[in-house]
Structure 1
Amino acid sequence: MTRLPLVLMRLLTPAAFVAILVTAQPAAEWERVPLAASAASGLAFGALDLRWPRAAGVLLSLAALFGAVVAVADPSLTGPSLVCLSLLVLSSLAAITPAEIITVAVAVGVAATAGGYLAGQPGGLVAGNALAVSVVVLLGLNRRQYRVQARHARDLLDQTRLTQEAVARGATLEERARLAREVHDIQAHSLSALSLHLQAAARLVAELPSPDEKLAACVRKAGQLAQEGLIETRRAVHALRGDPMALPELFGSLPDNASIQVTGEPRELPADVTLLLYRTVQEGLSNARKHAAGAPVSVELSYLDDAVTMTVVNRTGSGSGLPGAGYGLTGLRERAELVGGEVTAGPDGAGWRLSARIPA
């Protein structure tokens, strides 16, 4: 059931009550009281249906009862019209149980039938009114059942979609864990072996009768890079496995010309978010070394209510030599998009600003 028929019902029901009230021609003045009360209950239903459906159901029940009074007093179509309209809308409300609907319909039908006989109305008219009430209630219950089934179908589709998403997430996590094992088995082991060999090479170079300082420096630098690569590989493995990583530990090796400031209340972040923030600092420091060697660099980590931001600012002392949009920034933006964040970079006075904002 689409939303359009429900909206039309809420708009047309009060209009129908108004139309019946305007076209009614009561035989006696006192009949205007139950007639107005029935129409007023129907109009109030339109205002309460969305927020208080059960209260709206009570109003429709009152509208049907007042309509039954009008039907007993006046054999015209005004009273039966009010009764049928009220019961049709009432029986289609999902918030009212079928037992309650049937109880109201039986009470209204018995009141109209007994009152009609006592008022001396023709038997055919009384029976016709009772039949009309029965048909209207059955139609309303059928419509209600359709709405309930449609709602259950939507709930089932939503549950199925959530289940499929959970299965997909599970498959993704399993694949990430497999990749983490592969990275660890290949890269980490290779880098560990490389680091050991470079350490051995450094010792051999130092034991030479006339060691070459440049060669020794190159070997030491290669060993340092191997160690850093091993650390980065382990961090990537942690991120793939979803293991939590602490930002303060990642920022423990900042260069002397870099200062870090943390604002807000620190909290645990997902591994991929933590790694992205760390990569942002790495990219900012790399740009600073290339384009503003030795210039001060400020790093600010801000924990906001709905996000975490990482900003790296370096001062070049001039407007030249600022970094452009290289592959490092492109990679950061792609990483940020995967977690729903954004990365911005651009001139900041005489320096350069790199900022990442991640919802977390």
Structure 2
Amino acid sequence: MPKKPTVIDLFAGAGGMTRGFVDAGFKPVLAVEKEPDFAATYAENFGKHIVADDIVEFCKTAEIPKVDVVIGGPPCQGFSNLTGNKKCDPRREMWRYFMDVVEKSECQVFVIENVPNLLKSDEGENIVKFARKLGYHIDGETCGILNAADFGVPQNRRRAILIGSRIDYLNLPAPNGEFSTVRDAFKGIPKRPTFQELAETPVTTPQLHIARNPTEKSLARYRLIPPGGNRFDLQRLAPELTPDCWIRKTKGGTDLFGRLHWDGPARCTIRTEFYKPEKGRYLHPKEDRPITHWEAARLQTFPDEFKWHGTKIRIAIQIGNAVPPVFAKALANHIKKHLRGESRELTDDERQLRLVREKSPVFETKKRKQVTSKC
């Protein structure tokens, strides 16, 4: 393995995954991201090796360099419950272009990150079948669901991780013992937001401590939510302030209008609309306001010196869609040991068992969640 193994990042977004691999000693040589402002953020932090193009068009003509590792998160919206998990969503097929780059780059290892539903889909099984045809070792122990909170991210963020290796089977990493809380993440951030609008971009992460202008009704709602509470506390204490749709919805949505806990990881995933309490547990642990972009970026483990391009809304999308850099670094360190030959070698019996497993589906069909065909 070279002193600095090389990596390609596909569907790169702002570069959260690249950040983790760089911190682990990898050298990024190519990235692809179709959104121009997202690509500008990436370029600002990592260099001009990023291509701002749709990967479908990119794969038609691009010359792919030979690298050690290919990483990326094909669009999750096609598999997410939040967007209907529709089988006819064309974004479900974007894995094909990821694997096209894997094939052309002749990488030793690839890593796919996505929402857990990928593992219950035909597409997940097809990724595995295609990878095996290319000579990658991949099975049920190299694919699964990891929680970023088990690797030092102050946020419960469960994600499907698929690892394929030409070298040998590389099991998913075990939790590394790191633990971080919301209190840790918010250390040093002023209680009151200090910005109303963004300065001309790029801006650093602390410049994203953006205040909102809630209505008096919203402020009244915020004040009624106790530590760790949610919409049900609002309904109990002030039904007149509770939207009718919440009153009719007696089950589910337990994180809506929720307040974060200080002394544990954020209970819910930081998504793209974290500045709206009605979308999840996004109220500050003590202050009567939603969390700011700076606080969300800290929960996603972006460093304060990270620079961002785009509007407030577009930067929020970049933050919410990113792979937390600290989680990515844990994956990168795990892979680096594998590239160096430091991973435990399988016994002959273990290897034989895994070869037998390759003849059967990795993800049991009967456990796959049914998806709608309506579009």
TM-score (norm 2): 0.19
Query: Looking at both structures, which has the greater relative contact order when contacts are Cα pairs under 8 Å and sequence separation is at least 6?
Result: 2
- Return the structure number with greater helix share: 1
Name the larger-Rg structure. 1
